[in-house]
């Protein structure tokens, strides 16, 4: 879901509804837009506006919390990768191959998670390079032959951490999917268009009134932009930073076994 497209469609719908209502109102009989009609229309529009404002406020709040949670999930994912690398380092030369695969895995996760949405959706999660590398890492860790009881304990800890990586990656992959249904956005935009049509019926049609309606529609479109943008935390201008994962990748590459 493109946040800019959502904002443009929302603004266009509200502006078109208000403008069309202004034109239609000028051709209606006087009693259709008289005081008695206004007394009926205003409460009806106010009720729709109240519901729409509550829904829009809840959408912004929910999107903000989802965005923050995605950032925290990235931090936890990076910590799990770092813990795995430290455990593998404790195996000495026996863990070199697994550490190399771990570095390649982190690089693949970064490339996939912060890729455009269409690129993420093009491949099934289990068939992505990161998943293949993670399965290979798990096989390498399980296949290690510890030299003593201490290394056996390290291998068990490393194996448990690999399983945690699966859980963390699955969580981040879920965060990457847009959590704002398009049907929901469409319903809200339809409500907003109806509200602005009600405004336009009784608007005087002078430049000041039209500017006020246009500015308010722009502000509401900006709110919907925030909802759509925060709902896809790994894409767009407000994406969650990949810096924690990049820092871990640099650490893994610096500590990689020579040769």
The predicted-structure confidence for 62-91, as pLDDT tens digits, reads as follows 888 889 999 999 999 999 999 999 988 888
For residue 122, pLDDT beyond 70: no
**Total Cβ atoms within 10 A of residue 163:** 13
Reported as a pLDDT band with limits 50, 70 and 90, residue 92 is confident
200 in a structural domain: yes
31 in a structural domain: no
Distance CA 134, CA 112 (A): 14
State how many domains the chain has: 1
Percent of the chain with pLDDT strictly greater than 90: 36
- Tell me the helix, strand and coil percentages in the chain, rounded to 5: 80, 0, 20
User: Residue 231 phi/psi, 5° resolution?
Assistant: -75, -10
For the ranges 139-148, 177-186, 193-202, the lowest mean pLDDT is seen at: 177-186
Q: Of 173, 179, 182, nearest to 114 (Cα)?
A: 173
Structure token pair of residue 188:
């809200």
Structure token pair of residue 237:
């201008």
What residues contact residue 51 under an 8 Å CB cut-off, 6+ apart?
A: 191
The number of C-alpha atoms within 13 Å of 16 and in the hemisphere containing its C-beta is 9
Cβ atoms of 20 and 200 closer than 8 Å: yes
Integer CA distances (angstroms), 52 to 14, 69, 179, 192, 216, in order:
13, 26, 19, 7, 14
167 in a structural domain: yes
Q: Which is more confidently placed, 122 or 69?
A: 69
For residue 163, pLDDT beyond 80: yes
Distance CA 115, CA 242 (A): 11
Structure token pair of residue 169:
């990656």
Q: Which residue in the block uniquely carries the two structure tokens 């509550």?
A: 54
Q: Of 13, 15, 33, nearest to 24 (Cα)?
A: 33
77 in a structural domain: yes
pTM of the model: 0.80
Q: Which is more confidently placed, 147 or 79?
A: 79
Integer CA distances (angstroms), 219 to 14, 169, 222, 225, 239, in order:
11, 36, 5, 10, 21
Domain residue limits at 175: 3-26+41-254
State residue 173's pLDDT score: 84
36 in a structural domain: no
Q: Of 128, 137, 139, nearest to 172 (Cα)?
A: 128
pLDDT tens-digit readout, 211-231:
999 999 999 999 999 999 888
């Amino acid at each position: 879901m493109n946040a800019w497209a959502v904002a443009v469609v929302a603004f266009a719908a509200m502006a078109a509804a208000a403008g069309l209502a202004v034109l239609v109102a000028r051709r209606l009989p006087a009693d259709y837009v008289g005081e008695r009609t206004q007394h009926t229309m205003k409460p009806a529009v106010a009720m729709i506006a109240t519901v729409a404002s509550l829904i829009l406020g809840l959408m912004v709040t929910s999107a903000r919390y989802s965005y923050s949670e995605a950032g925290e999930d990235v931090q936890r994912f990076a910590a799990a990768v770092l813990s795995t690398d430290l455990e593998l380092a404790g195996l000495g030369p026996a863990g070199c191959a697994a550490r190399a695969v771990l570095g390649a895995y982190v690089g693949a996760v970064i490339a996939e998670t912060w890729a455009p949405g269409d690129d993420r959706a093009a491949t099934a999660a289990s068939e992505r390079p990161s998943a293949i590398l993670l399965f290979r890492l798990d096989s390498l860790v399980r296949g290690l032959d510890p030299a003593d009881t201490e290394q056996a304990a390290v291998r068990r800890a490393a194996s448990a951490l690999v399983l945690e990586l699966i859980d963390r990656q699955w969580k981040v992959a879920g965060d990457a999917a847009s959590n704002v249904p398009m049907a929901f956005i469409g319903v809200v935009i339809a409500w907003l268009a109806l509200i602005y049509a009600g405004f336009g019926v009784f608007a005087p049609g002078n430049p000041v009134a039209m500017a006020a309606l246009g500015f308010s529609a722009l502000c509401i479109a900006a709110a919907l932009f925030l909802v759509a943008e925060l709902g896809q935390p790994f894409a767009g201008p407000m994406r969650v930073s990949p810096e924690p994962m990049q820092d871990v990748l640099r650490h893994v590459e610096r500590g990689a076994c020579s040769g």
